[in-house]
Structure 1
Amino acid sequence: MKRDAIREFFRRLAAANPHPTTELEYGTPYQLLVAVVLSAQATDKSVNLATRKLFTVAPTPEAMITLGEEGVAEYIKTIGLFRNKAKNTVALSRLLLERHGGEVPHDRAALEALPGVGRKTANVVLNTVFGDSVMAVDTHIFRLANRTGLAPGKDVLAVEHALMRRVPKEYLQDAHHWLILHGRYVCTARKPACGACIVRDLCEFRDKTA
């Protein structure tokens, strides 16, 4: 996709949704961090259903540690890989208290040092909590970036780097939210809704649906 088309691509997404944000429900940076960890290989909807109850009883790192792995597991057992995620949630809560006074650090390396936190999770937190212009590439963004010709890449890191180069600076802070939402609801995996797509004419996907 050419530069002018990319700028128009994001101009339209921005006009349609001027203030995009995550669909995960949270009240504090800590709760967002936990929710993103729980969302790996799970839908935001399923995570929200679990955390509405979990965060009522364990809204802080201290409370999460007190609840313990088995207690956390009971609240998140409807989510895939719940036992490992419960273990990571308690462990990251403990490390936040030990290393950062219970606060979510504004530092990529410190975030990625926490159990269950990879590059994508760190990017979501850096962007949503701290307003950093970073790109959290999930399966939706990876698919959309390759399918549309926006930022092709063989793996998520390649796509992330390509997007950081190609997305116009003024759109970069909100870009990953626009792309996730577009991939989740319009440019879906099996049957993209090309007929309802506001950037259809800019997209280089050859097999557009009616």
Structure 2
Amino acid sequence: MPLFSDPALSTAPRRRRLEAPATSSEPLKDKALEVHRRLCGVYGCPIPYFHSLDPLSELISSLLSHRTRNADSGRAFKALRARWPDWNAVEEAEVAEIEETIRGVTWPELKAPRIKAVLSAVRARAGKLSLDFLETLSVDEARGWLEAIPGIGPKTSAAVLSFSTLRMPALPVDSHHHRVAQRTGLIGPKVDVGPSHAVLRAQLPDDWSAQALYDNHEVLMLHGQQVCFHRSPACGRCVLLDICPTGQARQAKATEGR
């Protein structure tokens, strides 16, 4: 159910923008902080933001990136911006034209109509094609507003708030981040990516800044990309090995097999 239906919400007073966390045990909180500390030592925090898009543009970029390599989704985003002057024109374009323009992404036949539908939903609910008003809301309110739109889930809503020029303290979780969290035992083996957002956020301090949460996402994602691979993770050179039950089990099995 939408949290807001009135376009006038863009004039609502600024609220506290912290995300209300779920509960988490103290040992897991301590472990999450230790994982963060070690990985920041490896990858270098604070990590610069990789781009500075307005929140609506970040939303479209995030929709294009689903199950798609960054290079391919980046090219598709640039192609949209080059073909049409603004998002109003994209909203009015034919689905076939959008699909042809973003053909380099995974499932362009699904993403093209979704982009049009999302743009129309933003206009209908906010009164115009802009998400700048989200800065006046709390993180929970802003995420609820976004996730009320079909096709927008926890990862996309968090990405819009964190990665865009809003720079709000939300924690996105991608597949690499999720894999590292599961293998280190921060989340259970049956916790999917969507539900993991609340669990992992609850393990971090309530008052962490947008930069700190962005760093947390980035270092876990980078570790998943560069060390904790989907297949054959490089456990022997992992700085988390002594606190990672999966890595320790893999190392023990490898030793037994010698």
Tell me the TM-score range normalised by the shorter chain. 0.7 to 0.9
Letter in 1 for 2:84: A
CA distance in 2, matches of 1:94, 1:75: 19
Report the Cα offset of residue 74 of structure 1.
0.9
Report the secondary structure of 1:54's partner residue. Answer: helix
What aligned pairs does 1:2-151 form with structure 2 within 5 A after superposition? 3-15=29-41, 16-20=43-47, 27-58=53-84, 60-100=86-126, 101-104=128-131, 106=134, 107-129=142-164, 130-151=166-187
CA separation in 1, counterparts of 2:122 and 2:85?
A: 14
Is residue 52–residue 163 contact of structure 2 (8 Å, CA) maintained in 1?
no
State the shift of 1:173 in Å. Answer: 4.6
Q: Is the 8 A contact 1:69 1:87 kept in 2?
A: yes
The CA deviation at 1:4 is 4.2
Per the alignment, residue 175 of structure 1 pairs with: 216
Relative contact order, CA 8 A, sep 6+: which one is greater? 2
Matches of 2:150 and 2:202, distance apart in 1? 30
Separation (CA, whole Å) in 1 of partners of 2:125 and 2:38: 43
**Aligned AA for 2:129?**
G
Cα deviation, 1:74-105, whole Å, max 9, x if unaligned, reads 11112121111000111212222333221125
Count of aligned positions: 209
Q: Which moved more, 1:104-113 or 1:83-92?
A: 104-113
CA drift at 1:115: 4.0
Q: CA deviation at 1:137?
A: 2.6
Residues 154-173 of structure 1 mapped to structure 2, 5 A cutoff? 154-156=190-192, 157-169=194-206, 170=208, 171-173=212-214
Between 1:45-54 and 1:153-162, the stretch displaced more is 153-162
Distance 1:54 1:199 in 2: 41
SS at match of 1:141: helix
Residue 29 and residue 3 in structure 1: after superposition, are their counterparts in 2 closer, same or farther (change >3 A)?
closer
User: Do the aligned partners of residues 3 and 31 (structure 1) sit closer, same or farther apart at CA in structure 2, a change above 3 Å counting?
Assistant: closer
Q: Tell me, in whole angstroms, the C-alpha distance in 1 between the residues paired with 2:199 and 2:67.
A: 24
Q: CA deviation at 1:204?
A: 2.5
User: Which letter maps to 1:19?
Assistant: P
Match for 2:234 among 179, 190, 193?
193
Give the Cα–Cα distance (whole angstroms) in 2 for the partners of residues 178 and 145 of structure 1.
11
Gapped regions of structure 2 (runs ≥ 5)? 1-26, 135-141
Query: Which is further off, 9-18 or 140-149?
Result: 9-18
- After TM superposition, the structure 1 stretch with the greater mean CA deviation from structure 2, 78-87 or 53-62, is 53-62
Structure 2 counterpart SS, 1:18? coil
Measure the CA separation in 2 of the matches of 1:121 and 1:46. Answer: 18
Larger radius of gyration: 2
3-state SS of the aligned residue for 1:201? helix
Matched, 1:207 2:234: no
TM-superposed deviation, 1:33: 0.6
In structure 2, do the counterparts of structure 1 residues 96 and 185 end up closer, same or farther at CA, with 3 Å as the change threshold? same
Distance 2:117 2:70 in 1: 22
Structure 1: runs of 5 or more not aligned = none
The two structures have a TM-score, normalised by structure 2, of: 0.70
The alignment partner of 2:93 has SS state of helix
Q: Structure 1 length as normaliser, TM-score?
A: 0.83
Q: CA deviation at 1:186?
A: 2.0
